[in-house]
Copies of this chain bind each other. A is one copy, B any other.
């Protein structure tokens, strides 16, 4: 079989499995998740032996220690997968929910029923725990999933999929509901992305390069975010203690993630008092500041910002700082350089708070809170399958519900159209 045929066969089987999953009981789905949690504990040695093959190969290939760390299925990571499985099992089942039922003038009663999407393709890099986390969410939402992880984690991913499939079989669920694509070159990704007749949604997770490649080449709808360039705007009326606390938390608490702040915007009327204050805190935290001319004149230690620093995702202890004339200037900057991820205003002015909330075009807009809260768990979605910064289907953190859709249902008594 050619590569294309191999992947197509997997997709055909996934679609067949998805038809069965559509009407599977919540108990059956939760049962499979609980079995997988048990299996991870019982077969930990097998998983870690397979994981060691990836780690050894990674060391030989000279992967960075950060990469090796992401690859490592330590006891702690395995325990967190077990916890994750129980948490997903505990979430309410979104499938089957019926809403908006209403009688129409013709006599028919029309409403909507929540249903699974069908087949989801996950394309991701390095972290093998994504294999289990994503499979669990897809299964709970009633979807079959095709998982295509990176070559560096192939032994781990195949071992985890084998375990998952054994649990599915014990639960009388078609094991094609969870499949790992064993072929790890780019051709396999291209093959997946062409199978629009079998796959309903592609979710890429990884570096911007991978995500752009997927978005450019997919015939299937893609839910994605390229990057997180989050701003905090400190308005004239801000409580400056609060603003300092939020700005430092947004930048420093975990700088390597997409919901950390990359650019601080400061109202010109308070720049003289606020910037030295927050600048001292950033100095203590080891943050490099790249300032516009005005902010540089107030913060002598700041580096002069280049044009390329606006809109830059540093993912590091580096922060762009800009003084703006007013809220409109802040919103204009965000419209030009933001990434539609998360934007926050610190203000005590009611009108400005509401205006920022309404007019800023981002998947999450905040008043007086750290951008670091932008997360499915923190927002109460229960679990997060990814974040979308495009507006179709889902915008922002995506949970179980975003892995479903709704169909129209009609109850009639023999009505015909006249």
Contacts and interface: CB of A to CB of B under 8 A. Distances in A.
Nearest to A100: B380
B411 A368 contact: yes
A417 interface: yes
Contacts of A395: 405-408
Contact of A221 (B115, B221, B253, B407): B221
A224 to B, nearest CB: 11
Contacts of A113: 357-358
A64 interface: no
A29 interface: no
B415 A369 contact: yes
Interface residues of A, number: 70
Interface stretch (A76-84, A262-270, A385-393): A385-393
Q: Which 9 A-B pairs have the closest CB atoms?
A: A369-B412, A249-B416, A242-B414, A372-B417, A366-B410, A393-B393, A368-B412, A364-B408, A221-B392
Nearest to A247: B416
A380 B110 contact: yes
Given A367-B412, A373-B108, A392 B245 contact: no
Interface of A: 19, 22-23, 96, 102, 104, 106, 108, 110, 113, 115, 117-118, 200-201, 215-216, 219, 221, 223, 239, 242, 245-246, 249-250, 253, 335, 344, 355, 357-359, 361-370, 372-374, 378-380, 390-393, 395-397, 405-418
B118 A361 contact: yes
B361 A19 contact: yes
Given A219-B216, A245-B414, A391-B117, A358 B96 contact: yes
A258 to B, nearest CB: 14
7 contacts: A23-B358, A221-B221, A221-B393, A362-B407, A364-B409, A369-B411, A392-B405
Contact of A408 (B200, B223, B242, B396): B396
Contact of A200 (B221, B372, B390): B390
Given A370-B417, A374-B408, 16 more contacts: A19-B335, A23-B359, A104-B379, A106-B373, A106-B378, A108-B369, A110-B379, A113-B357, A215-B219, A223-B392, A245-B416, A364-B408, A366-B409, A368-B415, A369-B414, A392-B405
